[in-house]
Structure 1
Amino acid sequence: MDQRIINLFDEYTHKPLTRDHFLKRLAELAGGTSAALALLPFLEVNYANAATIAESDDDIVVEDVKFDGDGSPMGGYLARPKKPGKYGSVLVIHENRGLNPHTKDIARRVAKAGYIALAADALAPFGGTPENEDEARALFAKIDAPKNLNNFLKGLDYLKSRPESNGKTACIGFCWGGALSNQLAVHSPTLKAAVAYYGRQPEAADAAKIKAFVQLHYGGLDERINAGIPAYEAALKAAGVKYELYVYEGAQHAFLNDSAPTRYNPEAAKLAWERTLTIFKAQIS
């Protein structure tokens, strides 16, 4: 698919473009309204592909949970191993569409690998993630950033309080959640590992505050996010932070999201996930 079309969809999903404006520009690039409408199923997510681990899987238990946030209740989707024991915990942070079926599946994948996984809903203070993705995106503009950060820090505390927890925590985030994963690395001195997929980097000056092991994954074609890599990597090196940074050539933004047909890259996704689980094993098992 024309990279200009993929870049336009990326702009639509991350900047305040109305759907009408997006469709008009898509029609211009595609050569007409009919062609644009034919392309939509290849651009927009299809959650029929978002269940690689079933909720009924014999090895895991899933439940909806609530925990105290910064001035308002927080909620999320928790998945954990069924076998009794003490496990490391992973806070799973969604993209800028909220807590959706894909993110819940990520939590189940983490649980299947042997960890407690909490996919917290950043939109819980607004009543939770709506089904309409454009409505969900609009709510993100209303999020209070400091309170949101505190909400997720409290999510880490909640995970530590679980009776199945071994006290070690990590986080993994995607896109908007990748940026937040970087922020948790900056602001949580007890976090063991922060994994950020195609997420905006923190201020370079904040790298010195990071105590966690940082693992960073980027799509080679993701120019918007990748522009921040050099300054962040230089700051990590200068601060002596332990990190791994991977750029997957030919991969788009959101390359791990198997519900996004045009951007999903199965080879890059498989390799990145293997690397992620290696870090979890080393840091929180």
Structure 2
Amino acid sequence: MATQHSPSDEAPRPIPQEAFDWYDAYAHGLMDRRTFINKLGTLTALGFSMSVLTSALMPNYAEAEQVSFNDDRITATYTLFPSPLGHGEGRGYLVVPDALAGTAPVVLVAHENRGLNPYIEDVARRLAIKGYVAFAPDALYPVGGYPGNDDEGRALQASLDRARIEEDFIAAARFLRAHKLSNGKLGAVGFCFGGYISNMLAATLGDDLDAAVPFYGTPADASLQSGIRAPLMLHFAGLDNRVNATWPDYEANLKTHGVDYTAHTYDGVNHGFHNDSTGRYSEEEAELAWSRTLDFFAEHLS
């Protein structure tokens, strides 16, 4: 948990949980920025500075990079793909292991509700160093791409037609599965909105998807869930009441439709706990969830 830095003779003070809850509501369009900032301001009476609060909640991508963009184990490029039912054309970040000889399993990485930010690109690179061809589409490509900060990215993504965004991700998945470097085995992993996209791809791609890993994502519409054929591994944050409220009905439908799934809930952590660019990051749980994800892909994409 992020902490308030105090003088050396005092113990660090944890940021109150309500600050993370307010940020989640703001980040998902349930609270406007003015209300969010005003609510944070109420915590200054408890001795927290606004700079400490905002730095704990807002991303700092420079500190989160785990695999450098110029790591000699990978080659990364931006690649276009056709999306006739979406925005006509899409673009994504394609990362290929340099040691690749022939083909490999491919994994689509779906971003949050703010476009292809540096954290998601880093996740794609983390997959590539493990031997996967990773592809992270940018839903914001039709409006110029991720703008460099999350607030603008969130507003841009909200301005786009959601159904066309979904078609862009479906097109990206089909493009990736058919790529010349693909061995025909396709996985998907996504975070927040990207977790929803992972669930949606599982419901719409049928046998063309071999494994999906939604991190704290809401389900596809119930009318689509009978189409799920891929095994699922779902990760939930224990403090994420908004997303967790959707799980009982989703789990019941997965059981009804005979879907192979595993669900993990990580107690005491917030929505976004895998994102190491913010104060919501929880290293122990993030590493455990990621190791489980890699094992799951190794099992189903080999």
Q: State the TM-score, normalized to the length of structure 2.
A: 0.90
Given that 2:216 and 2:235 are in contact with CA atoms closer than 8 Å, whether structure 1 keeps it comes out as yes
Aligned position for 2:140:
123
Return the offset for 1:32. 7.8
Return the offset for 1:19. 2.6
The separation in 1 between residues aligned to 2:225 and 2:177, in whole angstroms, is: 24
The separation in 1 between residues aligned to 2:16 and 2:47, in whole angstroms, is: 16
Aligned position for 2:95:
79
Given that 2:232 and 2:261 are in contact with CA atoms closer than 8 Å, whether structure 1 keeps it comes out as yes
Return the offset for 1:149. 1.6
Aligned position for 1:5:
19
Return the offset for 1:34. 7.3
Given that 2:202 and 2:229 are in contact with CA atoms closer than 8 Å, whether structure 1 keeps it comes out as yes
Aligned position for 1:47:
61
Task: Give percent identity, aligned residues only.
Answer: 42
The separation in 2 between residues aligned to 1:56 and 1:202, in whole angstroms, is: 36
Mapping 1:191-202, distance limit 5 Å: 191-202=209-220
Given that 2:125 and 2:134 are in contact with CA atoms closer than 8 Å, whether structure 1 keeps it comes out as yes
Aligned position for 2:117:
100
Given that 2:114 and 2:155 are in contact with CA atoms closer than 8 Å, whether structure 1 keeps it comes out as no
Return the offset for 1:194. 1.1
Is 1:251 the counterpart of 2:265? The answer is no
Return the offset for 1:16. 5.0
Aligned position for 2:161:
144
One-letter amino acid of the counterpart of residue 90, structure 1: V
Aligned position for 2:149:
132
- Write the deviation string for residues 18-64 of structure 1: whole angstroms up to 9, x where unpaired: 33321111101332897223311111111112210112222211111
SS of the aligned residue for 1:188 comes to helix
Mapping 1:25-64, distance limit 5 Å: 25-31=39-45, 35-64=49-78
SS of the aligned residue for 1:55 comes to coil
The match for 1:219 among 237, 245, 259 is 237
The separation in 2 between residues aligned to 1:160 and 1:231, in whole angstroms, is: 30
SS of the aligned residue for 2:159 comes to coil
Given that 2:211 and 2:297 are in contact with CA atoms closer than 8 Å, whether structure 1 keeps it comes out as yes
The separation in 2 between residues aligned to 1:113 and 1:252, in whole angstroms, is: 27
Higher mean alpha-carbon deviation, 122-131 vs 69-78, is at 69-78
The separation in 2 between residues aligned to 1:101 and 1:109, in whole angstroms, is: 12
Higher mean alpha-carbon deviation, 188-197 vs 34-43, is at 34-43
Mapping 1:132-211, distance limit 5 Å: 132-189=149-206, 190-211=208-229
Q: State the TM-score, normalized to the length of structure 1.
A: 0.95
One-letter amino acid of the counterpart of residue 200, structure 1: T
Return the offset for 1:82. 0.9
The separation in 1 between residues aligned to 2:241 and 2:185, in whole angstroms, is: 34
One-letter amino acid of the counterpart of residue 160, structure 2: I
The separation in 1 between residues aligned to 2:48 and 2:203, in whole angstroms, is: 47
Structure 2 residues not aligned, in runs of 5+: 1-14
Is 1:67 the counterpart of 2:84? The answer is no
Given that 1:94 and 1:176 are in contact with CA atoms closer than 8 Å, whether structure 2 keeps it comes out as yes
Is 1:231 the counterpart of 2:249? The answer is yes
How many residue pairs are counted as aligned between the two chains? 284
Return the offset for 1:206. 2.8
- Write the deviation string for residues 92-113 of structure 1: whole angstroms up to 9, x where unpaired: 0011121011000000001111
SS of the aligned residue for 1:236 comes to helix
- Write the deviation string for residues 247-278 of structure 1: whole angstroms up to 9, x where unpaired: 00111100000001x21011111110011111
